[in-house]
Amino acid sequence: MATIRDIARLAGVSPSTVSRVLNGDPSLSVLEETRKKILSAAEQLQYKVAGRQQAKRAAHLKDYKIGLVTFCSEQFESEDPYYLSIRLQIEKEFNQMGLHITRTIRWVNHESYESLSGLDGLIVIGKFEFDPYNLFFSRIQNVVFIDYSPDENRFDSVIVDFEKVTTTALDHLIGLGYKKIGLISSRDFINRFGSNSGIDSVDQRQSSFEAYMKQKNMYDPEHVHIGNNFSMSTGYQLMKQAIDKQNLAEAYLVGSDPMALAACKALGEAGLKIPQNVAIVGIDDIEMASYSNPPLTTVKIFTEQMGQTAVRMLLERIGGREVPLKVVLPSKLIIRSSCGSNHKEASEQAIS
């Protein structure tokens, strides 16, 4: 009769991983390829899963009502796949477990706190401030924030270190010999849940850019253009403003890939070539970045992993973990043609 150890040897993983996969442990983060290997090995060895524990756990989780809050409208998601990718991955993770999101709340509708009524867990995509004393919010014991960490002593969060993202991109541009480097980006806005107001602030990409360039004695405010959002239209308009000043930088770091692609369009309309006249580096690595002309150099943000991690953390909290965790995911520089690199083919350099 086959055992857990037999399956582990055949699948090339540890017995504990096999046990957690076969028992449907919701807190386990494992590659889908690994999961399939384990299930295939179990089937090949005709291993019978003791389903009582798995069924009990699934039934327990199905009793929980999970909410998803996002600041994006459906239209904004179609224009900027960053948050769309996170949301879709969250939904995929729940679906694979046979679970579902009870309620999706879009801030664009300025939903009231009553929309949180009855929820046991909440995943929040984007920058939101909640009233900690609000009756409906305070009743939710399990909350995970993505792309923002409002209180690391109370809530779980999954974030990206945009200071490291920014400095890595600038290190690359300076390494290529650029001296005049500009920034096209946006201010930050923290939404107040339950109202149409918020807090306007300097985004980490902008503050990191200014600090880095000042430290290098290379900062020129004439080359910094900041809008009110990370949309394509904002990237296009900001680059047109830079062109109209007739004082372009040699290279620009752009706050998001959609902004960067729109900035490239503005440069092309002005008869300027990329990277011969102006080099461009974006942030995100959306699918379109590799198909632009020229292909866009960018810093990859692992949005799918952000969604996966948030689901795992929420299930851990539901499972009894009391200590809040703050996870900072790595990023990666993807070198393509738009930065003027001497590499003829796209290459990758991990951020250490």
Q: Which domains does the chain have, with CATH numbers?
A: 4-45 (no CATH), 65-160+304-330 (3.40.50.2300), 162-301+332-350 (3.40.50.2300)
Residue 201's pLDDT is 92
- pLDDT tens column, 213-251: 999 999 999 999 999 999 999 999 999 999 999 999 999
Ranges of the chain with pLDDT below 70:
1, 24-27, 48-61, 109-110, 342-352
Distance CA 317, CA 302 (A): 23
pLDDT at 346: 38
Q: Residue 60's closest CA among 32, 17, 24? A: 24
Closest CA to 170 of 66, 249, 231, 91: 249
pLDDT at 26: 59
State the virtual CA torsion across 165, 242, 201, 110 in degrees, nearest 10: -100
Phi-psi region of 147 (alpha: psi -120 to 50; beta: other; left: phi over 0): left
- Quote the CA–CA distance of 214 and 204 in Å, as a whole number: 15
Give burial (CB, 10 Å; 0-12/13-18/19+) of 146.
buried
Q: Which residues pair with 349 in a beta bridge?
A: 333
What is the model's pLDDT at position 17?
87
Condensed to tens digits (0 to 9), the pLDDT of residues 332-344 reads 999 999 999 854 3
Structure confidence at residue 225 (pLDDT): 98
Q: Which of 217, 209, 147, 163 is nearest to 184 (CA)?
A: 209
State the alpha helices, DSSP H only, in the chain: 4-11, 15-22, 32-44, 51-62, 74-79, 81-96, 135-138, 162-175, 204-215, 232-244, 257-269, 303-318
